[in-house]
Amino acid sequence: MRLWTREHGTLWAIGVEDRLPRACSARVATEFAEVCGDQLDELASAMNLPNPDLIQQRLQSNRRCFSLRIDGRIAAYAWVTRGAECVGELERQFYLRDDEAYIWDCATLPAWRGQRCYSALLSQLIHQLHREGAVCVWIGASRQNRASTSGFVNAGFSPVIDLTYCRIYRLTLMWIYPTTARRSLVAAAYRILLNAHERRFGSLVLGYKL
């Protein structure tokens, strides 16, 4: 365990009360699809992995991956979880209800950056998850990651909370600041974020990791 860590981020969402945003298209012709079993080697290459072992482990634990293809090749990808997901940057589990989804570990391959592929992938993924019964779709990023947040905005996400997470050895501190007046989404963000070892005092969350 590192002696300390710090992260500044924002959690974004599209909630049940939102009208589905208009589909966002890339600047080039694309094809959206879920990654299938015979495409794992290609996805591993896109993710700069030496082999598809990690991908297989994720798929076997009910995680899913979706891709945007250009000329038959993966141009962008995104992983999706329905349930609990470990978020390494914040050193915690996100706990989602069955009717919620969390999008994570996304990337656009360098050759296709600047073509709105990420925005188009998120846009189509939102509509796909909505068809499957998800009433709230979540995504997050560091506040310094302007490329990701631009894609969030283009796809129709809205910021729900800003947070700063710190850990000094086993003591954890998290400051959470709502960025929306929609109390239901803010309450859902707290539900997703807080783990068993933590207690909330207003905007401050304190914890001690055993």
CATH number of the domain at 38, please.
3.40.630.30
Q: What are the tens digits of pLDDT across the range 119-157?
A: 999 999 999 999 999 999 999 999 889 889 999 999 999
Mean pLDDT over residues 10-38, rounded? 91
Predicted pLDDT of residue 37: 87
Q: What is the pTM of this model?
A: 0.95
If one counts the domains in the chain, the total is: 1
CB 115 within 8 A of CB 167: no
Domain of 133 in residue numbering reads as 4-208
Half-sphere exposure of 172 (CA within 13 A, CB side): 21
Q: Confidence band (pLDDT; 50, 70, 90) for 96?
A: very high
